[in-house]
């Protein structure tokens, strides 16, 4: 066997290994993608149990900003006020499971206002 023939065979073997690794990689990506689609689809169709009255920013996964509680009897009267050390700027309050309201202020503090 001449030297060129050996080099050619080695190149073919390396090309085969490269193609095999690429096909394995593509197969792995396909399997992972399929699993992700399956998981996301099953989560989308499963019912969400609302244990917290406002579980996340803008209320729900669709960010509707709508509460499931009836507030038609609320006339909007101010019930309390809390003074922070500075302005509250672009900060959304978060409500803990115990009803504590957390808010960030420009004075570099996070305030926890409870009952």
Burial class (CB in 10 A: 0-12, 13-18, 19+), 105: middle
pTM attached to this predicted model: 0.41
99 Rama class: left (phi>0) / alpha (psi -120 to 50) / beta = left
88-100, pLDDT tens digit by residue? 877 778 878 788 8
Asked if residue 63 and residue 40 are part of one domain, the reply reads no
Instruction: Flag whether 74 is in a domain.
Output: no
Domain that includes residue 29, residue range: 1-46
Asked if residue 58 and residue 89 are part of one domain, the reply reads yes
Reported confidence tier of residue 49, pLDDT bands at 50, 70, 90: low
Asked if residue 100 and residue 58 are part of one domain, the reply reads yes
Asked if residue 55 and residue 2 are part of one domain, the reply reads no
Of the two residues 24 and 115, the one the predictor is more confident about is: 24
């Amino acid at each position: 066997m001449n030297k060129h023939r050996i080099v050619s065979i080695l190149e073919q073997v390396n090309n085969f290994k490269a193609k095999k690794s690429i096909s394995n990689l593509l197969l792995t990506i396909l399997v992972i993608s399929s699993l992700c689609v399956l998981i996301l689809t099953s989560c989308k169709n499963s019912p969400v149990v609302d244990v917290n009255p406002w579980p996340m920013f803008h209320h729900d996964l669709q960010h509707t900003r709508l509460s499931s509680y009836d507030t038609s009897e609320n006339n909007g009267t101010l019930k309390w006020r809390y003074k922070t050390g500075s302005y509250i700027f672009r900060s959304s309050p978060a409500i803990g499971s115990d009803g504590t309201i957390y808010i960030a202020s420009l004075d570099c503090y996070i305030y926890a206002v409870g009952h």
